[in-house]
């Protein structure tokens, strides 16, 4: 995929990343490039990433030095304080006034952010602009000069459900996704479903590559001692169900709580261990109230957001991982659990079926069926005919073949190098297409 001239004999490839807010996935993906001397990395985001080897421009900082990002005063706070000051004075009309102010101010901040991105491009002179999803402000990169080579990594909902609902906002997002699919010189996705969706939005087949990067760090996520992990986390329950996706919405966490009521009747010493702060305090309070009303509050532990470096302990302590999202692409928690030889129970949706076959290497349940989830948990705990042992062995082999970080990171780096230094992208895309076919 790379040109004949070695990457070591030329200058580093300059990559400007556009990233949305804070995401551990974006941080890991960008870090793969920042730690490689064959790349020079600059990040523009609404969050002040501090990744060694990368220069950061925080769109929410005042007077941000274009390639330093030292000032961290938040423009967002200024927006809020100004709006709140006026809204507090407006009394009972504050909500209406707040909506009007937001409607007026958002176009201004969008223009300001786009100008900052253009200035960053002018100063940094990237070979490639790499959009980490199409959430704001990433899609602003689609309005840069068409001569600038753009690569897009489509995240979970970008092409699968983000732009498929009705309403003006969703219609606009659909146009953004369509423009991104057609404008990018290369696209990476992590599932066949996402690839098919990109093609429906008008992307050329040769441009779309299934690269599941950064993949799983198998030195970190691997089978380890359950006893040590339980001591580290202070857990003594007989059975532990890990729920790592967060609370509320399409994550169907309320169904997990309802299923727990049935499970605890049969296995009273079961702990449902929730990690992630997705959903915030409101959803946490709602779920805790549900557990109290069902009389099973002592069977839950809510650890919130956990540093990524500590996550392996949570897999090691668990007997099963549950993720029954109604919308998904390729959840990292599923891959991480598989790498740690932890059985998985997943929502029965097309994207997950690419990895899990019911009763073959895991269990698939309707995302909104608490009884089906409870039955699947019972099957895991009972492990009749050692079926779970078969599941985890198959999954570990699949991870080594399709989700190893060493292999997948190398592939995406080769893609970016090749895009940056290949004038005739048609020959590059044909070579990439051949490699995609042979890698399956």
- CATH number where 366 lies: 3.40.50.2000
Domain count, the chain: 2
In a domain? residue 1: no
**Of 205, 317, 320, which Cα lies nearest the Cα of 256?**
320
Q: Does 113 share its domain with 238?
A: no
Q: Does 323 share its domain with 427?
A: no
- CA distances for 104 relative to 170, 190, 317, angstroms: 20, 37, 50
- CA distances for 7 relative to 2, 124, 417, angstroms: 8, 20, 8
Q: Does 283 share its domain with 343?
A: yes
In a domain? residue 117: yes
For the record, the structure tokens of 343 come out as 């059985």
- CA distances for 110 relative to 104, 113, 185, 343, angstroms: 11, 5, 25, 44
In a domain? residue 309: yes
Residue 379: partners with Cβ closer than 8 Å, 6 or more residues away: 363, 387
- Along the chain (440 residues), what's the average pLDDT of each consecutive run of 10 residues? 51 95 90 97 96 95 45 40 48 59 75 95 97 90 94 81 63 85 94 90 94 92 95 96 95 97 97 94 96 98 93 96 91 95 96 94 98 98 93 96 94 96 58 50
pLDDT value, residue 97: 61
pLDDT value, residue 308: 86
pLDDT value, residue 10: 78
The pairing of strands 320-323 and 300-304 is: unpaired
Q: Does 260 share its domain with 191?
A: no
Show the domain range for 347.
Answer: 226-402
pLDDT value, residue 329: 78
Question: DSSP of 92-151, one letter per residue?
Answer: GGHHHHHHHHHHHHHHHHHHHHHHHHHHHHHHH--SEEEEESSSTTGGGGGGS-TTS-EE
Q: Does 319 share its domain with 211?
A: no
pLDDT value, residue 101: 63
In a domain? residue 220: no
pLDDT value, residue 23: 85
- pTM for this model (two decimals): 0.81
pLDDT value, residue 75: 39
Q: Does 166 share its domain with 310?
A: no
Sheet containing 13-19: give its strands across. 54-58, 39-45, 13-19, 128-132, 150-153, 186-189, 208-210
Q: Which residues of 304-326 are buried (b: 16+ CB within 10 A; e: fewer)?
A: eeeeeeebbbbbbbbbbbbbbbb
Q: Does 202 share its domain with 235?
A: no
Q: Does 365 share its domain with 428?
A: no
pLDDT value, residue 266: 96
pLDDT value, residue 73: 34
In this structure, what are the phi and psi dihedrals at residue 423, rounded to the nearest 5 degrees? Answer: -75, -45
Q: Does 233 share its domain with 275?
A: yes
Q: Does 422 share its domain with 305?
A: no
Q: Does 24 share its domain with 153?
A: yes
pLDDT value, residue 166: 60
Q: Does 192 share its domain with 317?
A: no
In a domain? residue 2: no
In a domain? residue 141: yes
């Amino acid at each position: 995929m790379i040109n004949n001239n070695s990457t070591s004999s030329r200058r580093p490839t300059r990559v400007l990343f556009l990233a949305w807010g804070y995401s551990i996935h974006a941080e890991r993906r960008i870090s793969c490039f920042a730690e490689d001397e064959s790349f020079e990395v600059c990040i523009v985001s609404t969050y002040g990433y501090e990744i060694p080897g990368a220069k950061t421009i925080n769109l929410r900082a005042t007077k941000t030095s274009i390639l330093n990002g030292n000032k961290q005063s938040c423009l967002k706070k200024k927006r809020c304080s100004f709006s709140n000051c006026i809204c507090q004075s407006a009394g009972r009309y504050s909500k209406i006034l707040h909506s009007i102010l937001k409607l007026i101010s958002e176009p201004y901040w969008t223009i300001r952010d786009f100008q900052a991105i253009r200035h960053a491009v002018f100063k940094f002179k990237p070979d490639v602009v790499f959009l980490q999803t199409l959430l704001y402000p990433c899609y602003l990169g689609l309005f840069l000069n068409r001569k600038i080579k753009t690569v897009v990594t489509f995240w979970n909902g970008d092409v699968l459900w983000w732009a498929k609902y009705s309403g003006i906002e969703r219609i606009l997002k659909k146009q953004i996704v369509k423009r991104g699919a057609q404008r990018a010189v290369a696209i990476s996705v992590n599932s066949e479903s996402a690839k098919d969706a990109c093609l429906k939005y008008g992307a050329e087949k040769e441009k779309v590559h299934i690269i599941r990067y950064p993949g799983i760090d198998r030195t970190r996520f691997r089978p380890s001692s359950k006893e040590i992990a339980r001591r580290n986390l202070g857990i003594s329950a007989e059975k532990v169900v890990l729920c790592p996706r967060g609370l509320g919405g399409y994550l169907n966490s309320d169904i997990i709580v309802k299923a727990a009521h049935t499970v605890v009747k049969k296995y009273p010493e079961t702990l449902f261990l929730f990690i992630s702060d997705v959903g915030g305090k409101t959803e946490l309070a709602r779920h805790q109230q549900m557990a109290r009303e069902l009389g099973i509050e002592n069977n839950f532990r809510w650890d919130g957001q956990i540093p990524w470096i500590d996550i392996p302990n949570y897999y090691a302590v668990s007997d099963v991982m549950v993720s029954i999202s109604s919308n998904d692409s390729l959840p990292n928690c599923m891959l991480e659990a598989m790498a740690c030889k932890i059985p998985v129970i997943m929502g029965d949706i097309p994207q997950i079926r690419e990895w899990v076959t019911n009763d073959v290497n895991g269990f698939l349940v309707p995302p909104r069926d608490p009884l089906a989830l409870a039955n699947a948990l019972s099957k895991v705990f009972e492990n009749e005919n050692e079926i779970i042992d078969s599941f985890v062995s198959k999954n570990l082999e699949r991870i080594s073949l399709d989700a190893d970080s060493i292999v997948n990171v190398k592939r995406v780096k080769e893609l970016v190098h090749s895009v940056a230094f290949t004038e005739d992208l048609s020959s590059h895309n044909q070579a990439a297409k051949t490699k995609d076919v042979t890698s399956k």
